[in-house]
Amino acid sequence: MSGETQNRMNNENTDKPLRVLHVIGGLGMGGAESRAMDMVRNSDPSILHYDFLLCEPVGIYEKEAESLGCRIYRVPRFLFYNYFSYVKALKKVFSEHPEIDVVLGSMTSTASIYMPVAKKCGVPLTVAYARSAGVDPGIKGTLTKMLRKNLYKKCDVCAAVSEEAGRAVYGNKRADEGKVWILHTANNLKKFVHNDENIRLREEIREKYGLQDKFVIGHVGRFHYAKNHLFLLDVYKEYLKKDENARLLLVGNGGTKESVEKKAAELGISDKVVFAGETSEPSGFYQAFDMVVFPSFYEGLPGMIVEAVSAGLPCLISDSITKEVDVPEYVEYCSLNENAEVWADKAAGLYGRVAAGRPAGNRLNDLRGYESLKKMGFDAGEQARVLPDVFREYINKLSK
């Protein structure tokens, strides 16, 4: 360990908070961003304090993050041709803030650049955090794979939200050797439980969008290739043949939204699809849903499914998604090789089975999903409690 790193370390003084700089694209509405905020909300800042390093414009969660004491730093988005200015901006942040103990890198596409810079500037611990088990198609995905190559050599710790994400980013050999730390995304599970208070949210949202007497299929997530919204529209159109009272409620924004709106119009279902936009508090929408259909091409570990299961919602999801979110009472997998008609049939069957199996005959206070997920390690409160000790343990090992 360098002398500069040793000088920066405060891990021996546990009276000081451990300061974590979370590197993430932005703090707009999205699964990774929502989970990052859950980590902040559930942490005691006198023990574990979070700041953020971002490269995207101001996002919906930033105001809340700052109100919770987080500092926001920005660097340019990495575009290859701006390599030197990107590195210069990184050096400025890391060198001017010697209080940083841990760099937690959720942006694994550029982690092989900023992790070594952080280390050279004396940051005691660098943790790459793989959140996705796939990449975008085309040149962007190819470049991402190139940048991630040998990432495990550029950081102190390889972490991932799931085994699939760990294998995708660090390789099978590292995973097989047990050298990938599986750190599930953590959620405020209890707030999603369908209880008396949340029934009010259900009524408010359904009234706002004219869905009072409708069967609502829901989806929360950014409009992005990985989420496969175009196929979701096909599934929904097939479901309408079974229940013309069904509506599709989409929560989020993103680059593919325009193409999704265009296809909805082409299918003649625009009047039945609600585009609700972004929200900093998605929990109310889960109350408004009756079920979730989630046909993603790839995910690391979908926080949306964790939230939906906590809310007692049946979830039909693609078989490309990790089995680590499999709660059999609520979750069923379907292959993306199957057509939209098969997906619609499975969605109808799943909803019927879940509804029939509810202890009280309805979602009210159905805690089976919540209790299962809590036991599986998805509770943010528990994660916030143990993370400081885990980070300090890694730092102590590196200092020897």
Residues 264 and 283 both lie in one domain? yes
Residues 113 and 170 both lie in one domain? yes
Report DSSP state, residue 379. Answer: B
Q: Which domain holds residue 160?
A: 3-186+379-399
Distance, in Å, from the CA atom of 28 to the CA atom of 384, rounded to the nearest integer, reads 22
Angle between helices 380-399 and 31-42 (to 10 degrees): 80
Residues 278 and 154 both lie in one domain? no
Name the phi and psi angles at 218, rounded to 5. Answer: -120, 160
**R_g of the chain, CA atoms, integer Å:** 22
Looking at the structure of the chain, the number of domains it has is: 2
Instruction: Read off the pTM.
Output: 0.72
Report DSSP state, residue 76. Answer: P
3-state secondary structure of 187: strand
Q: Which residue has the tokens 């209880």?
A: 195
Residues 149 and 182 both lie in one domain? yes
Residues 27 and 100 both lie in one domain? yes
Q: What is the DSSP string of 343-357?
A: HHHHHHHHHHHHHHH
Residues 230 and 329 both lie in one domain? yes
User: Encoding tokens for residue 343?
Assistant: 């997906």
Residues 194 and 328 both lie in one domain? yes
Residues 213 and 348 both lie in one domain? yes
Beta bridge partners of 20: 50, 102
Helix (H) or strand (E) holding 98: none
Residues 314 and 395 both lie in one domain? no
Residues 138 and 256 both lie in one domain? no
CATH code assigned at 318: 3.40.50.2000
- 400 residues of the chain, pLDDT tens digit each: 444 554 555 444 557 899 999 999 999 877 788 889 988 998 999 999 999 999 998 888 999 999 999 999 999 999 999 999 999 999 999 999 999 999 999 999 999 999 999 999 999 999 999 988 777 778 888 888 888 888 999 999 999 988 888 998 999 999 999 999 988 877 788 888 888 888 888 999 999 999 999 999 999 988 999 999 999 999 999 999 999 999 999 999 999 999 999 999 999 999 999 999 988 778 889 999 999 999 999 887 788 899 999 999 999 999 988 888 899 999 999 999 999 999 999 999 999 999 998 877 778 878 888 889 888 878 888 788 889 999 999 999 998 7
Residues 121 and 231 both lie in one domain? no
DSSP alpha helices (H): ranges in 215-320?
Answer: 229-240, 257-266, 283-288, 303-310
Residues 362 and 245 both lie in one domain? yes
CA geometry: angle at 299 spanning 265 and 217, to 5°? 40
